[in-house]
């Protein structure tokens, strides 16, 4: 049985970004050497220096009157 899908239906049936990401991660893991560090695909590695930047910026926003409401 064959169905004729609309352009939107065809678009929905195509691959998704997460599907491509998982494929890329799987290939990287399969070809990984002993020094490869898998940092995740959506859950990035925690970098203390970057966390400090985010913390400082969030504190600045909170200190501003109405900062969180903007």
Whole-Å CA distances, 35 to 13, 29, 32, 38, 41: 37, 12, 8, 10, 18
Reported as a single tens digit per residue, the pLDDT across 10-44 is 888 888 888 888 898 889 889 988 888 777 676 67
Cα(23)–Cα(41) distance, rounded to whole angstroms?
11
Ranges of each domain in the chain: 45-70
pTM greater than 0.85 = no
Whole-Å CA distances, 16 to 20, 22, 24: 6, 10, 12
């Amino acid at each position: 049985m064959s169905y004729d899908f609309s352009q939107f239906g065809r678009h929905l049936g195509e691959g998704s970004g997460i599907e491509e990401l998982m494929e890329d991660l799987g290939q990287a893991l399969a070809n990984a050497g002993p020094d490869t560090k898998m940092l995740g695909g959506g859950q990035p590695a925690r970098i203390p220096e970057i966390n400090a930047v985010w913390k400082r910026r969030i504190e600045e926003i909170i200190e501003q009157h109405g900062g969180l409401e903007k």
